[in-house]
Amino acid sequence: MLANPRLRLGASLWLAGMAGVVVLSLTVIPQLLENAPRSVPLGVAVAASVAQSGVLLALAVWAGVAFSRPLGLGAPAIEAALSGAGGWPALKRQLLPAAIVGIFVGGLLALLAHIAPSELLALGQAIEIPVAAKLLYGGVTEEMLMRWGLMTLLIWLPWRLIQKRAGLPRRSYVIGAIFAAALLFGALHLPAAAAMGASINPPVVGYIIVGNAVPGALFGFLYWRHGLEAAILAHAIGHAVAVLAAVA
């Protein structure tokens, strides 16, 4: 057991996020290689993907651990559990807002699935992302990358450079970071879509960015107001609701 509380928090978050990385790599990369023009050894591709994602995740986790506390941000349930105080009281306060946002996002994803550009619909039939990958990578890993890491850093920078660490960050910094991280969250899905064979044209770009930025902004507000766990739960619930709606 690590003695330093911040090291314990960072290690725990990184390991949780890596579960999603491993599941996504093991399930999606083999499908991508089937359509690749050149043959790449599966083991090499999976190992490279896990290593690259592991480094990015480590940087995001470090940013969150280093910068979140003076900004009034955190992962209250996880931190309480790691300290031995018990995480349930903090988690219980996050369940209702997470469930409300998660159900709304799930309904939005289900609706968007019916109006997706035709080539994305065809792509979704050709490449299947398992439910486990959606829940673990989408729900956990992406929230650590985009909210815990990126959004925290985007708040910390103006707080440190302009506000000079005086008190909590201004609301304008927080709200700006929420929307900036959400838009980047949407834009960062474009390379993945291109790798899967989608043409990056205006309808596809607009659909992907809006379809990810709207949920991303909602997850950002949850992280700000309730904690990282609320954003993780809402993201996972959103995927679960969308999956259930698709098979209903």
Residues of the domain holding 232: 5-247
pLDDT band at residue 39, thresholds of 50, 70 and 90? confident
CB 78 within 8 A of CB 217: no
Q: Is 60 exposed, middle or buried (0-12, 13-18, 19+ CB in 10 A)?
A: buried
CB 33 within 8 A of CB 81: no
In tens, the pLDDT along 150-164 reads 999 999 999 999 999
Q: Is the pLDDT score of 248 beyond 70?
A: no
User: What's the rounded mean pLDDT across residues 131-135?
Assistant: 96
Q: Using a pLDDT cut of 70, give the percent of the chain over it.
A: 97
Q: Is the pLDDT score of 128 beyond 80?
A: yes
Q: How many domains does the chain have?
A: 1
Which has the closest alpha carbon to 94: 213, 232, 215, 242?
232
What is residue 32's predicted lDDT score, i.e. its pLDDT?
81
| CB within 8 Å of 143: residues ≥ 6 apart | 219, 223, 228, 231, 232, 235
At 199, which helix (H) or strand (E)?
Answer: none
User: What's the rounded mean pLDDT across residues 122-143?
Assistant: 90
What is residue 192's predicted lDDT score, i.e. its pLDDT?
81
Q: Is the pLDDT score of 109 beyond 70?
A: yes
